[in-house]
Structures are given as structure tokens and as C-alpha cells.
């Protein structure tokens, strides 16, 4: 196992160096939304006409760096808000602290939010006291919080990167999952298998998950299902199709009646997307939304305001360190056939 992890780390490091070297000497197309704190993994939503961004809050941690992201040791969440893209960005302070979550052990990773019937819901992954990632939910009457967490994780939840999508019929769905440090590979048929190897070349790639949310927004209304991402021939991707297959960072949006499932390929640094006809999929791969950014990770969201669409993402412009990132935004454009125009983060 140690040898395979070392080989994996070497391969991923080479991908990271390659991605950064490709962008060397180029200028970013957008600037960080805030510079006084480090932010990442932005989940953006429009509530009451205003944009709210729910990011991770990166910090310098005394946790030793490891190949499962132990040094991404976030302790709280801040909510950013703005009236419009390009306008003043407000940091609304601490919305949720890990100390207020009774069942939490460590590592508050990428969150998301939703609104229903006068209540705002903040969804977040955090490792429990057995060091296993679960999903939590917290509530507030204000979009910026503070949020009060439930005393237990969502039953049946696991892994990382919750993305909550409201469909046009009023149904809410959570998409989630992330391999490697996100522990998705530890689960089979929704049963925890303990620590297991990451997927290998020649194996079918791990798939993201979906579950419809219950009416109270605090539970799953059904058994967790896999989300199938297919190539143009209708086949599932293999693990070694790592420029196209799923790694982490699910997001769902709808445009002209079609469902767009987007995600990060992780070790090859693309934000890709696939299209389908219903929230469960299957989704057919269509291309790249955003090419690699500077830094180890990328994680995004796509949102519409006043007839324009925007892509939120992060890179490491401020720090140059993979675990100290900064959130950015740029306009997203569609082609006449509904496909998305690929964005280069640097010119």
C-alpha cells in the first residue's frame, strides 16, 4: 500500500507541476473576491436577488501534510455576499464554527447552502470522531447565518462535497462524493468498508452520489444512488480516463430544460460537465468548463443572475500554496446548441 501511495503521489505531483507550468507567465482573467482571508470551493447562490457565496475557509494549520489532505484543516465557514458581480464583496463573519457541531471531529470541508420556506440550510462535510466524513446540516433565518447545526449527521450520508440543487418542481437533491481524501472509495452499496485502496487503472471509475432531500431538508428521502457519467458511446469511464472521469466537486444546474452535472477531475485539474434529461442522470460527457488553474485543486459552482451566467472557482494567486486558496468569478457562456464554452483561467 505504501508503494502504491508513493507512486500515486509522484504521478499527481507531475500533473500539478505540468498544470502550473502551462499557466506560467500568463495573467489571470479575474482577481480574488477577498484578500483578507483565504477562501476556496465556492458554492454560489442567488437569494432575494443578491449573490451569496459559501466557500471553505483555508487556514495555516499545524496538521502535518499528507496525501489525504490532512493539512486542509478548516475550522469554520464565512459567507461572502455581493449585490452584483464586480460589486463590493462583504465578508459576513463566522457563519458556523466546528466547535458548535457536537459530533464533529476535524476538517470542515467544502459546504453548500439552500433556502426553503423562510429557512436557510448550510450543508457541510466534516469528519466525525471516528475520522469518517459525514454530512451535517445547520439552519438559520438569514442567508449569512449564524447557523445552528443539528446534533447528528444526516443519516446515510458519507464522503464530501455536498451540492444541493432545487429543481423547477420544487424538489431538492443532494449530490456528493470525492475519492481519495474524500473517502468515497471506502463505500460500497452505501456500506462502509473501512480504509481501502484508491481506484486503480483499468477499474471502473468511482461515481458521484445523489439523494433526494426530505421535506424538512434535514434528511435523505430515499436510498443514496450512484450518478452515472457516460462517454459519447454510452460507456462508463475507467479510472485511467482521469481527464474526464469524476473525482470530486459535484455541481448541478439547469439551462433550457437540460440538466448539467459538472465536477472536478481532481488529479488532472479539469472542471468538466455532462448533460442529461433528469436530475438522476445518466449524464453524457460534453467537455471542459474550466481548464486547470494554478494550485492542486479546483472546485466550482455555476449560477445565474439577471440573465447572465457565472462560474465561481478558486486558484492560489495570493499565496502560491495549494492549501491557501482564493475564490474568483468569471462569466460563463453557452453555444447555440447548449454546450458550454471552455474557459481559460489565464491569458
Catalytic residues: 41, 248
Distance CA 333, CA 329 (A): 13
Distance CA 174, CA 194 (A): 24
Residues 6+ apart with CB under 8 A from 18: none
Looking at residue 200, the DSSP 8-state letter turns out to be -
Residue 89, C-alpha cell as written in the block: 464583496
* Phi, psi (rounded to 5 degrees) for 13: -65, -40
- Quick check: 110 and 126 in contact, CB under 8 A? no
Distance CA 19, CA 269 (A): 7
| Residue from 40, 63, 60 nearest 111 by CA | 40
Distance CA 74, CA 332 (A): 29
- Quick check: 39 and 326 in contact, CB under 8 A? yes
Q: Are strands 229-230 and 283-290 parallel, antiparallel or unpaired?
A: parallel
Distance CA 45, CA 302 (A): 9
Looking at residue 13, the DSSP 8-state letter turns out to be H
Amino acid at each position: 500500500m505504501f508503494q502504491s501511495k508513493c507512486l500515486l503521489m509522484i504521478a499527481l505531483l507531475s500533473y500539478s507541476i505540468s498544470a502550473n507550468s502551462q499557466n506560467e507567465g500568463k495573467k489571470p482573467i479575474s482577481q480574488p473576491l477577498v484578500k483578507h482571508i483565504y477562501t476556496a470551493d465556492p458554492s454560489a447562490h442567488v437569494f432575494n436577488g443578491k449573490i451569496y457565496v459559501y466557500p471553505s475557509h483555508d487556514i495555516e494549520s499545524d496538521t502535518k501534510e499528507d496525501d489525504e489532505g490532512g493539512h486542509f484543516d478548516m475550522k469554520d465557514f464565512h459567507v461572502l455576499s455581493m449585490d452584483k458581480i464586480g460589486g463590493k464583496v462583504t465578508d459576513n463573519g463566522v457563519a458556523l464554527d466546528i466547535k458548535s457541531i457536537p459530533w464533529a471531529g476535524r476538517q470542515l470541508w467544502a459546504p453548500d447552502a439552500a433556502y426553503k420556506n423562510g429557512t436557510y440550510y448550510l450543508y457541510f462535510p466534516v469528519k466525525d470522531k471516528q475520522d469518517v466524513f459525514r454530512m451535517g446540516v445547520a439552519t438559520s433565518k438569514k442567508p449569512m447565518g449564524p447557523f445552528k447545526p443539528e446534533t447528528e449527521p444526516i443519516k446515510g450520508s458519507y464522503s464530501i462535497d455536498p451540492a444541493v440543487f432545487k429543481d423547477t418542481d420544487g424538489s431538492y437533491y443532494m449530490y456528493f462524493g470525492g475519492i481519495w481524501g474524500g473517502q468515497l472509495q471506502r463505500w460500497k452499496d452505501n456500506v462502509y468498508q473501512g480504509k481501502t485502496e484508491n481506484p486503480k487503472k483499468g477499474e471502473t471509475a468511482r461515481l458521484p452520489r445523489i439523494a433526494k432531500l426530505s421535506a424538512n431538508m434535514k434528511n435523505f428521502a430515499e436510498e443514496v444512488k450512484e450518478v452515472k457519467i457516460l462517454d459519447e458511446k454510452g460507456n462508463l469511464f475507467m479510472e485511467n480516463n482521469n481527464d474526464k472521469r469524476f473525482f470530486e466537486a459535484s455541481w448541478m444546474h439547469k439551462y433550457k430544460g437540460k440538466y448539467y452535472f459538472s465536477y472536478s477531475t481532481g488529479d488532472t485539474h479539469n472542471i468538466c460537465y455532462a448533460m442529461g434529461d433528469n436530475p438522476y442522470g445518466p449524464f453524457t460527457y460534453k467537455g471542459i468548463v474550466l481548464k486547470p488553474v494554478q494550485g492542486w485543486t479546483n472546485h466550482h459552482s455555476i449560477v445565474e443572475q439577471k440573465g447572465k451566467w457565472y462560474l465561481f472557482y478558486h486558484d492560489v494567486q495570493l499565496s502560491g500554496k495549494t492549501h491557501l486558496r482564493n475564490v474568483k468569478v468569471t462569466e460563463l457562456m453557452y453555444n447555440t446548441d447548449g454546450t458550454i464554452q471552455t474557459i481559460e483561467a489565464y491569458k
